[in-house]
Every structure is written in structure tokens, then in C-alpha cells.
């Protein structure tokens, strides 16, 4: 008997409870019915036309993504939109966004583990916020921010890493937040020396300087693409006979 979407949803809910998502988020089963049978799964960071084509070509009727394919209220569904294409090809969608960011062992812990391969950090890793947002890692030795930025670039395979040379230069405690977490700057004052995240806007660099904090931008993509392999590994434990395909797209941002 084939597994149903409800089983996959319940499994994901054990890994990263959907009820813990941020209030503004839209994680969960966004397209499809819990009673539908699952022929195969594609796991991806974003639901794109390429991800849908891979699912269709491999007879997979469920895509699990990090970023929600429906985020804001829809007033219409155009034929070129991803929700339309999913429905057209009879493919369901489950999105695990901030619930996966916040979960113990989830995306931010994965990011900390990835960084630890190049940065010597203490074994204890703490959430920054009570709800589980962000992680605090401590280097075994104080390092210059330029060195940390270079090691981060290597650890995550980034094409470019931006960092502030005008804030705190000698760093030991770092707050990491996958995706776009520059709003946490004010929250780490007195707790950390530096914030490492992605998608940092112009004004946040000046705020870091004002607060005497280091700031490192690794890009949204590189701080989150690691979720694909993680969710695939977890689901294979629960669904060993179900085809599970990891879809890794290239960074949509190009550099010259």
C-alpha cells in the first residue's frame, strides 16, 4: 500500500513541528490533499519550473521545499505561476520554512555544524531567542573578522562573502541565522560579537557599525541549500522504499 501525504506531513512534523513556525510564515501542506498517495518525493530549496519538471519526469507527485510556494494571499493564479504548474501536473507541495529554521537539529544547527568544519568552535551551541531563532557559537580563540569571513566562504562554498570592516574586528561569539536574519542585530548586543546571515540590506551595515558589531553576509542561498540533503536523509529513515530525489539548483545570483 502506498504511503499517503498525511504520513509524510506527520513525519516532517516530528522533525520540525509546523505549529512552531513564525506567525507571518506559511509552512505546511500548501497544495494537495492529505489522503493522496505518494509515488515519489523531490526535495528542493525553492519550487521552480525545473524542480516541477524533475518531479514530473521521475513520477514524483510531491515536492517538499523550504521556501513556501504560496506566501502572500493570491488574487489570481496565472498559467506561468508555480501553483498553477503544480496543479496542472498533479503535484502536491509541502513547505518547511521557519519551522525547520527553529527546530532543534534543523537548519540553524546544520549551518553551525557546516561552519564548524572550518571554524574551531566549542561543543555547546545555544539558541539566541526563546523560540529557537538563531544560534550562538563560540570560537575557541578570538579571530579577526576577515579570517572568519574567508573560512566561512570555504565552508559554505560561497562565490562571495561580504563582511563589515567598520564594526567589531576581533570576534569570539557569533550569532548565526540562516536566510535573512539581519533584523537580529539589536538582539545580540551584549551577547555576541558578530552576526552571520544572508541578504543584508544597506542600512544594517551602518547599524552594525553603530552597535560595534561584526557582520558577515554569506547570501541566502548558501546558508539554506544544506536543508535538501538533511531532509532527504531524515525521510529515507521513515520511507526507505519511497523514491526521494534531491534537487539542487545553482545559486540564482551570478557574480562578475
Say how far apart CA 112 and CA 135 lie, in whole Å. Answer: 8
Q: What is the pTM of this model?
A: 0.96
- Name the fold adopted by 104-217: 3.40.1390
- 74-112 per-residue burial string, b: 16 or more CB within 10 A, e: under 16: eeeeeeeebbebbeeeebbbbbbbbbbbbbeebbbbbbb
CA angle 185, 15, 223 (to 5 degrees): 35
Residue 155 is predicted with a pLDDT of 98
How much of the chain exceeds pLDDT 70, in percent? 100
**Rounded mean pLDDT, 32-55:** 98
pLDDT digits (tens, 9 = 90+) for 109-129: 999 999 999 999 988 899 999
* The three-state (H, E, C) secondary structure of 107-162, written as one string: HHHHHHHHHCCCCCECCCCEECCCCCCCEEEEEEEEEEHHHHHHHHHHHHCCCCCE
> Considering the chain, what is the average pLDDT of its residues?
96
Mean pLDDT of 234-241: 96
Q: Which pLDDT does position 165 carry in this prediction? A: 85
**137-161: per-residue pLDDT in tens?**
999 999 999 999 999 999 999 999 9
pLDDT at 2: 86
Burial label, 216 (beta-carbon count in 10 A; 0-12, 13-18, 19+): buried
Boundaries of every domain in the chain: 5-101+225-247, 104-217
* Residues 11/3, Cβ–Cβ less than 8 Å: no
Residue 85 belongs to what H/E stretch? Answer: helix 82-88
| Ramachandran bin of 151, using left for φ above 0, alpha for ψ from -120 to 50, beta for the remaining angles | alpha
pLDDT tens per residue, range 198-221: 999 999 999 999 999 999 999 999
Which pLDDT does position 141 carry in this prediction? 96
Distance CA 214, CA 204 (A): 11
Mean pLDDT of 26-39: 98
Superfamily of domain 5-101+225-247: NIF3 (NGG1p interacting factor 3)-like (3.40.1390.30)
Amino acid at each position: 500500500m502506498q504511503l499517503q501525504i498525511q504520513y509524510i506531513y506527520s513525519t516532517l512534523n516530528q522533525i520540525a513541528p509546523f505549529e512552531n513556525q513564525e506567525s507571518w510564515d506559511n509552512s505546511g501542506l500548501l497544495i494537495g490533499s492529505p489522503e493522496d498517495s505518494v509515488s515519489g518525493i523531490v526535495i528542493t530549496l525553492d519550487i521552480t519550473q525545473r524542480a516541477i519538471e524533475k518531479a514530473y519526469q521521475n513520477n514524483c507527485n510531491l515536492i517538499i521545499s523550504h521556501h513556501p510556494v504560496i506566501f502572500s494571499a493570491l488574487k489570481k493564479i496565472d498559467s506561468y505561476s508555480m501553483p498553477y504548474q503544480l496543479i496542472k501536473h498533479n503535484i502536491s507541495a509541502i513547505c518547511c520554512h521557519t519551522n525547520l529554521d527553529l527546530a532543534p537539529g534543523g537548519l540553524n544547527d546544520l549551518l553551525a555544524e557546516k561552519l564548524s568544519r572550518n571554524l574551531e568552535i566549542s561543543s555547546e551551541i545555544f539558541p539566541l531567542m526563546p523560540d529557537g531563532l538563531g544560534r550562538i557559537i563560540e570560537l575557541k580563540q578570538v579571530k579577526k573578522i576577515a579570517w572568519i569571513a574567508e573560512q566561512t566562504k570555504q565552508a559554505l562554498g560561497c562565490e562571495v562573502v561580504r563582511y563589515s570592516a567598520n564594526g567589531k574586528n576581533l570576534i569570539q561569539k557569533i550569532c548565526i541565522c540562516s536566510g535573512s536574519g539581519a533584523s537580529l542585530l539589536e538582539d545580540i548586543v551584549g551577547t555576541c560579537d558578530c552576526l552571520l546571515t544572508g541578504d543584508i540590506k544597506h542600512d544594517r551595515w551602518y547599524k552594525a557599525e553603530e552597535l560595534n558589531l561584526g557582520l558577515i553576509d554569506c547570501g541566502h542561498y548558501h546558508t539554506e541549500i544544506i536543508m535538501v540533503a538533511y531532509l532527504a536523509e531524515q525521510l529515507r529513515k521513515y520511507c526507505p522504499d519511497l523514491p526521494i530525489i534531491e534537487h539542487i539548483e545553482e545559486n540564482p545570483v551570478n557574480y562578475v
